[in-house]
Amino acid sequence: MTARTDPRSNPVAIPFIDVAGQRRRLGARIDAAIARVTAHCQFILGPEVRALEEELARFCGARHVVTCASGTDALLLVLMAKGIGPGDAVICPAFTFCATAEVVALLGATPVFADVDEDTFNIDAASLALAVAKAKALGLTPKAVIPVDLFGLPADHDALAASAEADDLFILDDAAQAFGASYKGRPIGTFGHATATSFFPAKPLGCYGDGGAVFTDDGDLAELVKSLRVHGHGGHKYNNVRIGITGRLDTIQAAVLLEKLEIFRDEIAARNRAAERYNNALGNVATVPRVPDGYTSVWAQYTIRLEPGRRDPLAAALKQEGIPTAIYYPTPVHRLQAYAHFPVVDGGLPVSEKLAQEVISLPMHGYLDEPTQDRIIDAVHRALNG
């Protein structure tokens, strides 16, 4: 085989998220944990599920944790427990994954879209107040707000709590991307009245399939969610006292997560080191993400901003060099076909629209070694300066 003089002519592909890197570290332990489940055969609500709920509660300090089948189910189960339905409005940011609003619409309630802050990408408390006014003007009853801790960075939970309290709103924190982050020294999972997270494999704490969890300090709410995740059972599984769903976390997924949780803090630290290196290296060619004082992020995504029209050439140039990128999100939720008929705040959602044109995410995970990251940084510089 002839040696290549220019490695860029056949670059080694870089993963966007290096699941294999984590398996090199933890694979044998995870395989053994899965084997323990296949040996005891308690595939549904086996002992690992309860153990995981206890460990998750210990990790973030929430009083109650109820695991479930996905992040979407975590959001849905809480809204079901609160009796959200037709005639109710639930305020959602427009710059998020559709699931935030999907669960509202599924229950026959109305998502009302608010705008986000340009620096943090998270719901703007002033826009939340406008959304409440919009809901009332439409004859809806504003019942709840679902702030999202987007890309792993917490929303401004103090500002949101003040605004939501004024309007008597239930706060359901959508922390699908942010379990492990903190705000003013307090871990995500302890804000608002309840928190939902996702263990989708690409999330900072991901399992080997779908999974999610609800966090709350409200014992009654936790009991309701437990009932709803198993067809609304009462004391006995064939005594169904309310309409529920099949929403449990598989025991095998709990076993995987128990192993991953043990190294999660270490991985969060590695993600933060990688984010800091990106920020130092890219701040002169792009708008890099800013973490406000007192916040920590788990960097579910590392997302930069470029003037409209510049990101597609960047993505194409990086692709040529085996470097993947992703756009989260190319369309704000209120512009998606399934959501376009739902109300938005008066004045529209200019920040969400702008961000959707400007954002582009680079590879980010806890196994991004410095030489690989330098290759990405170098390629971004050449693409943007060339």
Ligand X SMILES: Cc1ncc(COP(=O)(O)O)c(C=O)c1O
Residues near ligand X (CB under 6 A):
70-72, 96-97, 99-100, 148, 174, 176-177, 198, 200, 210, 212
Kindly state the tokens that stand for 294.
């007192």
CB of 70 to ligand X, least distance (A): 3
Tokens 């997270």 correspond to 197
73-112 in b/e burial notation, b at 16+ Cβ within 10 A? bbbbbbbbbbebeeebbbbbbbbbbbbbbbbbbebebbbb
- CB of 290: closest distance to ligand X in angstroms? 20
| Residue with Cβ nearer ligand X (22 or 70) | 70
Q: Are 171 and 78 in contact (CB under 8 A)?
A: no
The amino acid present at 228, given as its one-letter code, is L
**What sign does the dihedral 219-222-226-231 (CA atoms) show?**
positive
- Least CB distance to ligand X at residue 28 (A): 26
CB of 212 to ligand X, least distance (A): 5
Nearest CB to ligand X, comparing residues 94 and 377: 94
Q: How far is the CB of 75 from ligand X (least distance, A)?
A: 6
Residues 141 and 132: their CA atoms lie apart, in Å, by 9
Which residues have C-beta within 8 Å of that of residue 201, sequence separation ≥ 6?
19, 207, 208, 209
Structure tokens at 21: 């890197």
Residue 201 CA: distances (Å) to CA of 71, 204, 215, 281: 11, 8, 20, 28
User: At its nearest, how many Å lie between ligand X and the CB of residue 250?
Assistant: 13
**Taking each helix axis from N to C terminus, what angle separates 219-228 and 71-81, rounded to the nearest 10 degrees?**
120
The amino acid sitting at 324 is P
Q: How far is the CB of 122 from ligand X (least distance, A)?
A: 11
The distance of closest approach from Cβ of residue 196 to ligand X in the complex, given in angstroms and rounded to an integer, is 7
Q: Which is nearer to ligand X, 177 or 182 (CB)?
A: 177
Nearest distance in Å: CB 102, ligand X = 8
For the CB of residue 361, give the shortest distance to ligand X in the complex, in Å.
12
| CB atoms inside a 10 Å sphere around CB 19 | 14
- Sorted by sequence, the CB contacts under 8 Å of residue 256 that are 6+ apart come out as 30, 33, 34, 207, 208
Cβ-proximal residue to ligand X, closest one: 71
Q: Which lies closer to ligand X via its Cβ, residue 133 or residue 261?
A: 261
Cis before 329? omega within 30: yes
Distance in angstroms (rounded) separating the CA atoms of residues 196 and 216 = 9
Residue written as token pair 């509660």: 57
Question: Could you tell me whether strands 110-114 and 141-145 are parallel, antiparallel, or unpaired per DSSP bridges?
Answer: unpaired
Structure tokens at 42: 């308690």
Query: Do residues 132 and 345 touch, judged by C-beta distance below 8 A?
Result: no
